[in-house]
Each structure stands twice: as C-alpha cells, then as structure tokens.
C-alpha cells in the first residue's frame, strides 16, 4: 500500500476516530460522575481471540459486547477480510462474500482504491466474525469491547466465566477505556 496515501486517509479519518474514542470516554464519564471508584467489566483487546462466545454468553438478549474500529490502524483495504470472507469462492467484492451476519458494517469509498468501514453498534451482535477476519489477514483494527451504555455490570460477568482467553476483567471506571492499539 502507498504509505503517503494511507497516512493521509488516517489523518482524514482522525476526526471520526476521535468521535469514537470520545464516545467511549463518554460512557466512562457517566460512570465517573456516578461512582468514581466503581469497577466496570472490560475486554482486553490484546488478549481476545475472537472465539465468538461474547455473542451468546452475555445475560442480555443481544450482547453488550460490540465491535469497535480503530481507524488509525486500518489499512482501508478494498478486499477487507473483516468485511468480506477471507476465503471466498470467488475473490471479489460481491455481496455474497460479506461476513457480517447482521449487515452491521458500512463500507464507503474514501478515495480510489481505499475504503472506510464503520460499525453500526445498533446492529452488531458481538459475534466477532469481522474481528477474526481482520486479524487473520488484515491488521487487526476491528476489535470487540463491552459497551458501557448497555452492560448491566453483573456481579459476575457471564462471558468472563467462559472466556477461553481470560480477556475480561474489572477495571476502575475512572481509567481510560481499553482500546486496540497498533
């Protein structure tokens, strides 16, 4: 990939990423005001192996775990393996190759041949398919995290009990939200 082009795209999308991070910080801002010493359940994105259990182990009907996207890491690939099946029958951008079971990821051309991928968390069920796909052939910029606006802060997180990677723990609400870093 052309490094200068990619850096430009990253700067262009920095505002979008900042909104995302500010949004995340916003959840914590609410927690901070209500209980500065409270602990919140969080995924360590560097430990998560995208096993899929987050989508069905949560006590909520639709999991509180959602996919987030670190735009600073993303390669803005045309054939994104977080969006398209990494092993399609035909290697093209056909709709039949799309990975997400709920159409929660929006693909938008930024500048030929680069594309931006934005997650609609209202549609995301936390299945991790995109995370696994991005991690396997891409750069891992898509990751799962617990949405603090949805999480019930169960005494014992039902997902943490079954997480094969011990990726979920409680952290102080006043600390920074755990994001995927490059």
Binding site for ligand SF4 (CB under 6 A): 41, 43, 48-51, 53-54, 58-60, 64-65, 67, 99-102, 104-105, 119, 124-130, 144, 146, 151-154, 157-159, 163-165, 167-168
Strands (E), 44-167: 65-69, 105-111, 114-119, 142-146
Q: Closer CB to ligand SF4, residue 28 or residue 125? A: 125
Distance in Å, CB of 150 to ligand SF4, minimum? 7
Q: Closer CB to ligand SF4, residue 5 or residue 26? A: 26
Q: Closer CB to ligand SF4, residue 9 or residue 142? A: 142
DSSP letters, 56-117, are HHSSSSS-SEEEEE-TTT----TT-TTTB-SS-SS-S--GGGB--TT--EEEEEEETTEEEE
- Name the token pair of 174: 């006043």
Q: Closer CB to ligand SF4, residue 11 or residue 162? A: 162
Distance in Å, CB of 106 to ligand SF4, minimum? 10
Q: Using CA atoms, how far apart are residues 145 and 67, in angstroms rounded to an integer?
A: 6
């Amino acid at each position: 990939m052309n490094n200068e082009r990619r850096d430009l795209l990253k700067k262009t999308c920095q505002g979008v990423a900042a909104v995302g991070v500010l949004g995340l910080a916003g959840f914590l801002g609410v927690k901070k005001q209500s209980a500065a010493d409270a602990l919140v359940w969080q995924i360590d994105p560097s430990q998560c192996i995208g096993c899929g259990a987050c989508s069905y182990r949560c006590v909520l009907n639709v999991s509180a775990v959602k996919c987030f996207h670190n735009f600073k890491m993303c390669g803005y690939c045309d054939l994104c393996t977080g969006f398209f099946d990494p092993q399609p029958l035909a290697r093209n951008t056909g709709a039949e190759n799309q990975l997400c079971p709920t159409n929660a990821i929006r693909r938008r051309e930024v500048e030929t041949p680069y594309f931006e991928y934005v997650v609609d968390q209202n549609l995301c069920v936390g299945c991790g398919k995109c995370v696994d796909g991005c991690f396997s052939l891409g750069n891992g910029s898509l990751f799962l995290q617990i949405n603090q606006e949805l999480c019930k802060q169960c005494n014992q997180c039902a997902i943490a009990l079954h997480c094969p990677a011990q990726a979920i723990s409680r952290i102080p609400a006043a600390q920074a939200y755990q994001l995927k870093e490059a």
